Amino acid sequence: MRTFHSLNHVRFLSFGLIFVFTFCIIARIAHAQDDLNFDLEEEYFEQEHAPSYTLCGYVENRTQFGVNQAEFYSFRQRLHLEFSTPPQRYSFFADGDLDYDPAVQNWTDQDYEQFHAQLGKCYFSLDTDFFDLTAGQNIVRWGTGDGINPFDLFNPVDSRDPIANARSLARLPVPMLHAVVQASPCTFEAVFLPQAQVNSPFLSGSPWEGTYLQTLREHAQAGSLLLDDENEPEGVEYGLRSAVTFDGWDLSLIFIRGYTNSAVFEKDTQAGIPSYTAKHPQFTAYGLNFAKGFSRGTLRGELALKPDSTFAASSQADDDGLVKADYFQGVIGIDWTFFTDLYLNAQYFMESFPQGRNGAASRPYVDGMTFKIKDLFLDNALELGLQGMLYFSGDGLSLEPYAQYEINDHWKITAGFLLWEGERQGRLGQYDDNDMAYLKIKYAF
């Protein structure tokens, strides 16, 4: 994150957008019906014209404007394509994006591909009555929490575009095997990653770079230290989950063994000049989550223990600048629909470091809440909402008022503001200068 001059005269923002794109291949496929039919001619016709694949997607213009810095964070033009075969015993799904974003050069001097092609999900599926298997690039989330999810550990954050909204981060699909065994009322799952997948470092000068990494890079550029911020672990990751459903309750036990997505920096002073190397320590996570459905809402909760986890020390650090602690995380929340369309989601979360030697954080207990409230208007075409995250322990807050309007089945417009507030050393407060307005125009085909 770069330091910018304060521009107090900025009071409003108007967007000028150019959105011209033509795509003329549209496949409209309807799934074949399984109902018994004695019309042999019609049955033959349906078999001859049974769907073999579906191709769809969208084009989107997304503009993000930093209101404090008075410059564009993003002016991304995206073509998104999805390909799938019908959901049968064997099936295939793939999607991907082709992006063009010239605005990134406003805030970074690093090499950046203005054109960027990225494969998203891409996997084969086997679907039977009692056993399901997917193999390929995918996203798996075992946690039930919204916003804060202690068991969202397999998929790394998208460092090119990390902010999904004011209460959650965008994550990338990765190569994995995902197996599910159904034995009603129980379900057993296993996930295996043949190669550990972790967060890539943010671009230098990125609005989401973070104050600690920014400080290390500034000192490295000045020659007062050596920095290696790209160091991926070698190893596999895997997890097991068992779940049972009874009387409207869903209860799961979870075990995950992997590598931390976010890097910590190991310090070495033996060479005379300090050197910092990015590390992704191995971790083990145990825990449980539950969900209880009601007529108009759901109660959710999670509890996770990650023993002997590695953190950057906040004070009185060891020689390598790292400490270990048993790390507890807990989440409980509820989502509820009032009247017809008024939706409320509130979630309380906590983190505790009871055995941190020399202190693994600036405080031993951190807590806060995430929230979302939205309602529908104009025959459900207009959605107005407010969502965000608030730390009760002094790490700041984020807030996002937004509006989304579906003009028809193809066109959708979304606009809003993303706001951060807090002290610079806080988890959210460090982005205090990054308040932005955004506008998205999407055409689906």
Per-position DSSP letters for 177-234, written without gaps between them: EEEEEEETTEEEEEEEESS---PPPPPTT-TTS-HHHHHHHHHHHHTSSEEE------
Q: Residue 59 burial (CB < 10 Å; 0-12/13-18/19+)?
A: buried
Q: Is 247 helix (H, G, I), strand (E, B) or coil?
A: coil
Q: How far apart are the first and last CA of the chain?
A: 37
| Cα–Cα distance measured from residue 30 to residue 44, given in angstroms and rounded to the nearest whole number | 16
Residue 375 pLDDT: 98
The tokens for 166 are: 């004011």
For residue 431, the SS3 value is: helix
Contact between 368 and 392 under an 8 Å Cβ cutoff? The reply is yes
pLDDT in tens, 52-79: 899 999 999 999 999 998 999 999 999 9
Specify whether the backbone of 218 is left (phi greater than 0), alpha (psi in -120 to 50) or beta: alpha
Strands 237-246 and 249-259: antiparallel
Q: What pLDDT shows up at residue 33?
A: 35
How many CB atoms are closer than 10 A to CB 198?
Answer: 19
Yes or no: say if 173 and 192 are a contact pair by the CB < 8 Å rule.
Answer: no
pLDDT digits (tens, 9 = 90+) for 156-172: 999 989 999 999 999 99
pLDDT lower than 50: segments of the chain: 1-47, 316-317, 356-360
Contact 66, 434 (CB under 8 A): yes
Instruction: Please give the Cα distance from 346 to 330 (Å, whole number).
Output: 14
CB 311 within 8 A of CB 323: yes
Domains parsed from the chain with CATH numbers = 40-444 (2.40.160.10)
Q: 444: how many CB neighbours lie within 10 A of its CB? A: 15
Nearest to 443 by CA among 414, 420, 416, 421: 414
Cα separations in angstroms, 10 against 65, 403, 415? 12, 22, 18
Give the C-alpha separation, 151 to 154, whole Å.
Answer: 8
Classify 220 in phi/psi space as left (phi over 0), alpha (psi -120 to 50) or beta. Answer: alpha
Are the CB atoms for 150 and 304 separated by under 8 Å? yes
- Report whether 119 contacts 136 (CB < 8 A): no
pTM: 0.84
Beta-bridge partners for 376: 383
> What is the predicted pLDDT for the residue at 106?
80
Classify residue 45 by its DSSP letter: H
Q: Is 151 exposed, middle or buried (0-12, 13-18, 19+ CB in 10 A)?
A: buried
Quote the tokens at residue 39.
């019309």
Torsion angle of the four alpha carbons 109, 115, 116, 117, in this order, in degrees rounded to the nearest 10: -170
| Nearest alpha carbon to residue 322 among 277, 352, 284 | 277
Q: How many residues does the chain have?
A: 445
Q: What is the token pair recorded at 410?
A: 């193809």
Distances 323 to 42, 312, 314, 360 between C-alpha atoms, Å: 70, 6, 9, 6
Residue appearing with tokens 């992997």: 258
Q: Tell me the two tokens of residue 6.
A: 């304060």
From 360, 258, 367, 255, select the one nearest 310 (Cα to Cα): 360
